Amino acid sequence: MTTVARDPVTAADPAPAPPTRPAAGPSRHRYRAAVGFAFGAALLFAVAPLVLSDFRLSLLAKYLCVAMVAVGIGLAWGRGGMLTLGQGVFFGLGGYAMAMHLKLADAGPGNMPDFMMLYGQLDELPLWWRPFASPWFALPATVLLPMAVAFVLGSLVFRRRVRGAYFAILSQALAAAMVILLIGQQGTTGGTNGLTDIQGFFGYDLDDPVNQRMVYFIIAGTLLALLALARHLMQSRYGELLVAVRDSEERVRFLGYDPATVKLVAYVVAAGMAGLAGALFVPAVGIISPALIGIVPSIEFVIGVAIGGRATLLGPVLGAVAVAWARTALSERFPGTWTYLQGLLFVVVVAFLPGGLASLIGLARRRDDGEPRPSRLGRFRPRRREGAA
């Protein structure tokens, strides 16, 4: 693998460089961000619950979970240049950790989850399930477990300078391996069925629409918090370093930074976000199964990000929600032909809006002030701070 990674072709894969976008004044920038967050919060917390039926709101909760994964991919891929085609693994780790705890809580202390008796014929709970009975272990594990896996994998891979297509293939292989593992261990993982029929969420009955609404609010709040975190990272010195590594890893190395560490941080953070998304997906949808974490769903996460605009803050979120929503809407409207329509949509967006839906905003703005402003790809630009110039 090392020899492959040092291949000169892969070592030099700079993304095509769009011209640098002139930075907006800092005060205007901040003002816009605050208004944006307030607007998003109002939309998610006030408008959506009022306008949407219980069923549609629970669908939105599901879309927002996908959007959380997208925020992480936006950071790792859009800003860090790591095409992570295996985010399903981290989503799954978070989801399974949460579902294992909820299944154990449903079964009650001392009992085993229903499927283990049906498929496993086990006499007692397997050792590796036991810690998940405690929420104090399971809840942190939903985030820390994916982060730990990403850390180990990332440490091995980035130091060896595995990049580009090789990194993408590796992350996919991980997703495939995890699915095979889960299916093979049917007695303890539920096999292809996954973990289903989850009744309660920390003592609250998930069948109750009021509690479903609560889960939605938690998800919406978490997404906003993750967006704030991502924005903070992107605006920080670290964020600039990350973009610099994406655009020219060698140059950053010559400047004395360690690109491997820079990439590792983004990769681990993205994994943590995916894990959190998986954990919240479980109470929102009531199921986690290998079908949700394999190669296809992992690619679907990335498609949403690509469509939204990978290097922007909001692009991945909007893209993920738009793709998931379109999937539902098209499949309800045209049950027989929707897959073709969805494919067509992907082709059209990628062909005519390579910067994603977020570049539409750029187009609109250009029309506003007549200044050519191509897509906002978050280029490395000199830092402008008040008083620092």
Partner 1 sequence: MTLIRGRRILAGAMTLVAAAALAACGSKTTDGNTSAGVAADVSGDTVKVGLLNSLSGTMAISEVTVRDAIMLAIEEINAAGGVLDKKIEPVGEDGASDWPTFAEKAEKLIREDRVAAVFGCWTSASRKAVKPVFEKNKALLFYPVQYEGLEQSPYIFYTGATTNQQIVPGLDYLKAQGATSLYLVGSDYVFPRTANKIIKAYAEANGMKVLGEDYAPLGSTEFGTITNKVKSSGADAVFNTLNGDSNVAFFKEYKSAGLTAATMPVVSVSIAEEEVKSIGTQYLEGQLTAWNYYQTTPGAANEKFVAAYKAKYGADKPTSDPMEAAYVSVYLWKAMVEKAGTFDVEKVREASDGITFEAPEGLVTVDGATQHIAKTARVGKVGADGLITEVWNSGQPITPDPYLKSYPWAGGLS
List residues binding partner 1 (CB under 8 A): 30, 33-34, 37, 41, 45, 53-55, 58-59, 62, 106, 117-119, 121, 180, 183-184, 186, 191-194, 196-200, 203-205, 207-211, 213-214, 217-218, 220-222, 224-225, 228-229, 231-232, 235-236, 285-287, 289, 291-292, 328, 331-332, 335-336, 338-339, 385-386
Evaluate whether 258 touches 252 at the Cβ level (below 8 Å): no
Is 22 exposed, middle or buried, given 0-12, 13-18 or 19+ CB atoms closer than 10 A?
A: exposed
Chain centre distance of CA 234: 16
Evaluate whether 362 touches 376 at the Cβ level (below 8 Å): yes
Kindly give, in sequence order, each residue whose CB lies less than 8 Å from that of residue 8, ignoring residues fewer than 6 positions away.
none
- If phi > 0 it is left, if psi is from -120 to 50 it is alpha, else beta; for residue 224 that is alpha
Closer Cβ to partner 1, 10 or 199, answer by number: 199
In the complex, the smallest distance separating the C-beta of residue 270 from partner 1, rounded to whole angstroms, is 18
In the complex, the smallest distance separating the C-beta of residue 241 from partner 1, rounded to whole angstroms, is 15
Closer Cβ to partner 1, 105 or 311, answer by number: 105
Closer Cβ to partner 1, 153 or 287, answer by number: 287
In the complex, the smallest distance separating the C-beta of residue 361 from partner 1, rounded to whole angstroms, is 20
In the complex, the smallest distance separating the C-beta of residue 389 from partner 1, rounded to whole angstroms, is 14
Which residue in 69, 35, 15 sits closest to 378, CA to CA? 15
Closer Cβ to partner 1, 10 or 211, answer by number: 211
